[in-house]
Amino acid sequence: MNDFSDSKLVEMARKGNKRALSALLSRYQPVIQRQLLRFPVDAADRADLVQDAMMQVIRRLDSFRGDSQFSTWLYRVTANAALMRMRSDRRRRQTSFDDHEAEAESAMHNIPSTPGGEWALRVDKRVEEKHRRDQLEQALEELPENYRDVVLEHYLEGEPLQALADRLGTTESSVRSRLHRARTVLRERLREAA
């Protein structure tokens, strides 16, 4: 099975061949693991995320049309699984924070202040940075998939524009255009959120 091409393995897996599916997942599990290193999750969550991504591959295999390489499709599926996990985690943290907001507010009033209010400034700065990071993550999640993919691959993974263009089967100027449009949409969404 390891000698078969990705497209042949996908074709066989779609027809119910479990060995082909297993070979495909074994081939790409290290790729998924490397890709997920780029997302800000801890090691335990990353291991769960690998499993989530592999389950998404199994569930969504029929959606692979063959318009691009399997690895490009896999990247999108994995990135979406990671973004969904991060969104879910953020919601859980927000719910937890909301549940304990009154308790936290009370505790904040009981903390002795330092000269010049330095402690409060540091906390305010961290809260503001986290808020901006959450807004950016939300704006990224709302981008159309073809924009989000080039933004993540170029800016987070450092993928050169020509390499992106080659993998997507397009020109470098087309990738630049997508990045420009994506940045414009992100700026608008972040401005609206401010």
| pLDDT tens per residue, range 45-64 | 788 888 888 888 888 888 88
Task: Give yes or no: residues 86 and 129 share one domain.
Answer: no
Q: Looking at the domain assignment, is residue 169 inside a domain?
A: yes
Angle 177-182-186 (CA atoms, 0-180°, nearest 5)?
150
Listed residues 90, 110, 144: the one ending a domain = 90
- pLDDT tens, position by position, 68-94: 788 888 888 888 878 777 777 666 655
Q: Answer whether residue 33 is part of any domain.
A: yes
Number of domains in the chain: 2
Residue 132 lies in a domain: yes
In a domain, 107, yes or no: no
C-alpha triplet 134, 135, 137: angle, nearest 5°: 65
| 119 part of a folded domain | no
Does 176 fall in a domain? yes
Regarding whether 129 and 50 lie in a shared domain, the answer is no
Which one of 14-18, 41-45, 54-58 scores highest in mean pLDDT? Answer: 14-18
Answer yes or no: pTM beyond 0.75: no
CATH code at 147? 1.10.10.10
> What average pLDDT does the chain have?
78
Place of tokens 């074994």: 26
Q: What CATH number should be reported for the domain holding residue 5?
A: 1.10.1740.10
Beta carbons of 157 and 78 less than 8 angstroms apart? no
Pair (74, 139) in one structural domain: no
Query: Is residue 133 included in any domain, yes or no?
Result: yes
pLDDT at 142 over 80: yes
Burial class from Cβ neighbours inside 10 Å (0-12, 13-18, 19+) for residue 41 reads middle
Taking CA 34 as the corner, what is the angle to CA 28 and CA 50, rounded to the nearest 5 degrees?
65
Looking at 65, 90, 115, which one is the last position of a domain? 90
User: Is residue 173 predicted with pLDDT exceeding 80?
Assistant: yes
86 with 145, same domain? no
Residue that the structure tokens 């202040």 belong to: 113
Q: Which domain holds residue 83?
A: 1-90
